[in-house]
Amino acid sequence: MERFSLRFVLMMVSIILTSSICQAQLSPTFYDQSCRNALSKIRSSVRTAIARERRMAASLIRMHFHDCFVHGCDASILLEGTSTIESERDALPNFKSVRGFEVIDKAKSEVEKVCPGIVSCADIIAVAARDASEYVGGPKWAVKVGRRDSTAAFKALANSGELPGFKDTLDQLSGLFSKKGLNTRDLVALSGAHTIGQSQCFLFRDRLYENSSDIDAGFASTRKRRCPTVGGDGNLAALDLVTPNSFDNNYYKNLMQKKGLLVTDQVLFGSGASTDGIVSEYSKNRSKFAADFATAMIKMGNIEPLTGSNGEIRKICSFVN
């Protein structure tokens, strides 16, 4: 019995040490020697894309989120469907919704020119999200890199509740984030990415027409012009009506005025929600929001990365080698 216990203890120590080594492999300086120009090449591609279309900043941040929440930050979301791969792009939360693939492809192409086979697509997504935030006035942070790319996609997981639903309650959102190692403050901070970007009519139609007490009547009336009761499912509306192209803290001010566009936005504030205090804090303190957003993005980027000899470094982001 004692011999068995000793073997068990040694096994657990080995697992803990292995996990620690994997996490240690993610570092802001990972490419300093192997591909010194990697981050600048990615940054250039991202800035060019957002200069062409401002909405792309939100899309790139959202892509990082949708990648990390399904089987970890492994670029599985980039894989196109083949005879052996069911693409996550076709999963309900992503279909005709996640965008920016061509920006990642362009960044990968530029990086491959200077150091082929070195920089993962998973890292490019993570760096692109940071660069997108910075370009539109949001926070910047030292991205930890060193991830490797998945050789599989996980469409079934993407469809099974790993990603938030547009009608989720606060408890459901908190539970989902907790499963990923993210706390309630991370949830509220990351939701602040909705200070930029747009949403499709079918995602917020019910909120406009349900005559609920948690939505400002004037706000609802304005949104109805682009989102009728029937048709126009793909019509877009800015998530932040006031400053839709600038990464600021107006999103939280909107929530306090019952002007959250999505159900999952407004559940963060009102009727004594447990997150009311955080929303109020961020509405008054843009710097605190920015700092917490950066911290939460770093934590999210650490969700189950592939490191060491796991996975691969894809030559083309949309296909396995």
pLDDT digits (tens, 9 = 90+) for 75-115: 999 999 999 999 999 999 999 899 999 999 999 999 999 99
DSSP summary character for residue 198: E
Give me the percent of the chain exceeding a pLDDT of 90: 89
Binding residues for substrate: 164
What is this structure's pTM? 0.91
Question: Catalytic residue among 66, 71, 89, 205, which?
Answer: 66
* Residue 288: per-residue pLDDT: 98
* Residue 5: per-residue pLDDT: 52
What's the average model confidence in pLDDT over 183-210? 97
Binding residues: 67, 70, 72, 74, 76, 164, 194-195, 240, 243, 248
Is the pLDDT confidence value at 26 over 80? Answer: yes
What's the average model confidence in pLDDT over 39-46? 98
Q: Where do the CATH 1.10.420.10 domains begin and end in the chain?
A: 181-298
Residue pLDDT, tens place only, 27-36: 999 999 999 9
Is the pLDDT confidence value at 246 over 70? Answer: yes
What distance in Å separates the CA atoms of residue 78 and residue 150, rounded to the nearest whole number?
10
* Residue 23: per-residue pLDDT: 46
Residue pLDDT, tens place only, 118-139: 999 999 999 999 999 999 999 9
Q: Where do the CATH 1.10.520.10 domains begin and end in the chain?
A: 28-162
Binding residues for heme b: 194
* Residue 25: per-residue pLDDT: 81
Is the pLDDT confidence value at 207 over 80? Answer: yes
Q: To which residue do tokens 């999200």 refer?
A: 129
Residues written for the chain: 321
Q: Which fold has domain 28-162?
A: Peroxidase; domain 1 (1.10.520)
Q: Quick check: 208 and 193 in contact, CB under 8 A?
A: no
| Sequence-ordered list of residues with C-beta below 8 angstroms from that of 17, at least 6 positions apart, any chain | none
Is the pLDDT confidence value at 21 over 70? Answer: no
pLDDT-derived band at 13 (thresholds 50, 70, 90) equals very low
Q: To which residue do tokens 């120009």 refer?
A: 37
Q: What is the CATH number of domain 181-298?
A: 1.10.420.10
Looking at every residue in the chain, the average pLDDT score rounds to 93
> According to DSSP H, which parts of 192-275 are helical?
201-209, 217-224, 250-256, 263-266
pLDDT-derived band at 271 (thresholds 50, 70, 90) equals confident
What's the average model confidence in pLDDT over 65-83? 97
66 is catalytic: yes
Whole-number Cα distances in Å, 103 to 42, 49, 94, 111, 249: 9, 7, 17, 12, 26
